[in-house]
Structure 1
């Protein structure tokens, strides 16, 4: 005896039925059981003869095997299949123009209903971009905002890692079946997210990595969030697709500026020109969203791969050369340097002054510093 999602899987797997057609049928006839009880003439009037004929075909052996596989998957702890009719389906996604008909969820369901921020960016991020993604995500997570991203290499992975160290954790929206980890290099991270956060997919179990899936899953990243933060994006970047979808969904868009000479800053600058909010700190986002929780003490940074970050080192043992390594050629806020280095403000100011006198960094208005040599 299959659970209630069986007819939904049949609808989802019917050739020619995408999410738009499925929602059209659901609006016209009700639940999937009622759709499959309709006559050919009724169905054809709504979706045409080809799809109507496909809907009336009996379940194939492949569909029966997938349903059995999905049923077994759901018997495992913290694995769920949510449909548009499910009370646990995230209400934020019901607000977007194209909500997934079925969601496969692995991990904490509560995170899908928590206020959050999408964090996206380049797969080929710079060291500074990775650092920004981790620190912004950790700080926002500590403020109570769940971080949604796409589990890709680069900015996505860094955002998830940072968010896992915060209070509100993270949601990974993937472009494969929920039983597949892609890219494979993120396997350990995916396992950590499944345990402490949440993995979400609209694709059936076993669905492989197909290029067209990834731009499409971006609407879920933005749809789950109050806004989207873009960190390092080229002029032709998938992150800009996420930003565009966020605008269409009525979400806020934030972007971190970079050097005018950096190709990975061009996408962010383009967004800012188009009206995205320029942000220099996580507090800018919190204030723009008018989202506030009691101030929480940030945990010490701890890299999931086992590499000890600089903030884990003894404050007294951090030389100015170590601090210099954390200062980018693009302007870096002092609060970011304090978080990365773990130095108290007195010690940090002293080391910054020494580096400035040595001609290795430049102090800029607004508490920003950039590396010169």
Structure 2
């Protein structure tokens, strides 16, 4: 049986054949491995099967090289060993950026696209802490949690795995971030040049995010979330799954809290993660500083009645038995300090 963990350099002819076999539309990762097992080599498989012509590979290679990128073919010494060991390892990856990041231990940070301000801050704090501890940070370049993680780890090393071709910009609002990662971090894609990010490509991308990593950190995963797919694939791949807990009243944490109930590791701060991997603890900066200009009794009542779960402003007025003007003043002061998040339906929560 073909052993995807081999690291010797491939014969140029076999390498080219693997590219042609991998880029044939009807051949996915599993059938690619089955073909290698059956025929003994990609070169032989290309002789027996109807695969794409070499000109197709040459065209993609030229486009990739024009952007400073290259192919990583399963069997190349530069191919990530953690991925190579998977039964559905991507046969080929397009890469643009710093390949040295693949030699570092990696932790993925994933979560909600519609992240709250609190979730965004948590993702940034965890990613920055992981980077300072020496880890590369992987994610999927989606909106929300992924974006926050990539931005926070850009200076220390981040890997973005794309669902579409490596030449495709998605989502559009992350165009500048994607370009920055190409310069300072690493972009990876299993999809062929020019492939749009179709729905079925995202679960395939998620298995690469988790497969590259020693562990996956989940922040704000709803009951039906792509982040849960990543977490479950991570568990199947033998990776650690860490989850930042949240209020049971917040639907954005329903999936997260379920993962904890199923046995995932609860992560309060970055030290709960790096300690599992034998790294020394890092100083953790918390944002729960006391509010300024909010020392009176009525203000204290309002703050005590609030939490991370969204609460209606009218309910705060009734529960605290203070005037609406006082509540509004307290909320404004908290908002100016960056400690308040406003939600639809005139609801608020503490960050």
TM-score bin (small chain): 0.7 to 0.9
Distance 1:352 1:243 in 2: 42
Using the TM superposition, give the Cα deviation of residue 56 of structure 1 relative to its aligned residue in structure 2, in angstroms.
3.9
1:336 aligns with 2:346: no
Deviation (angstroms), 1:17 = 1.5
Task: Write out per-residue CA displacement over residues 217-275 of structure 1, whole angstroms, 9 at most, x where no aligned residue.
Answer: 10000000010000001011110000000000000001111111100011110000000
Counterpart-to-counterpart distance in 2, 1:213 and 1:123? 17
Root-mean-square deviation (CA), in Å?
2.7
- SS in structure 2 at match of 1:131: helix
Query: Once the 2 structures are TM-superposed, how far is the Cα of residue 362 of structure 1 from its aligned partner?
Result: 4.5
Query: Distance in 2 between the 1:206 and 1:355 partners?
Result: 61
Change (3 A) 1:355 1:236: farther
Instruction: Within 5 Å, give how 1:208-219 maps onto structure 2.
Output: 208-219=196-207
The answer to whether the 8 Å contact 1:82/1:88 transfers is yes
Residue in structure 2 matched with residue 273 of structure 1 by the alignment:
261
Q: Deviations over 1:285-338 (max 9, x none)?
A: 011222349x6x9xxxxxxxxxxxxxxxxxxxxxxxxxxxxxxxxxxxx83217
- TM-score, normalised to structure 2, is 0.78
Unmatched tracts of structure 1, length 5 or more = 39-54, 298-333, 339-347, 364-368
1:1-373 aligned at under 5 Å gives the runs 5-38=15-48, 55-56=49-50, 59-60=52-53, 64=55, 66-76=56-66, 78-165=68-155, 167=156, 169-292=157-280, 335-337=285-287, 348=289, 354=295, 358-359=299-300, 360-362=302-304
In 2, Cα distance between the equivalents of 1:284 and 1:148? Answer: 18
| Cα separation, partners in 2 of 1:335 and 1:355, compared to 1, 3 Å | farther
Could you tell me how far 1:187 is from its partner in structure 2?
Answer: 0.3
Distance 2:291 2:22 in 1: 62
CA distance in 2 between counterparts of 1:161 and 1:103 reads 23
> How many aligned positions are there?
298
Q: CA deviation at 1:31?
A: 3.2
Task: Give the conservation status (yes or no) of the 8 Å contact 1:356–1:362.
Answer: no
- Range 95-104 or range 198-207, more displaced: 95-104
Query: 2:312 maps to what in 1?
Result: none
Q: How many Å apart are 1:10 and its aligned residue? A: 1.7
Q: CA deviation at 1:18?
A: 1.3
Q: If the length of structure 1 is used for normalisation, what is the TM-score?
A: 0.73
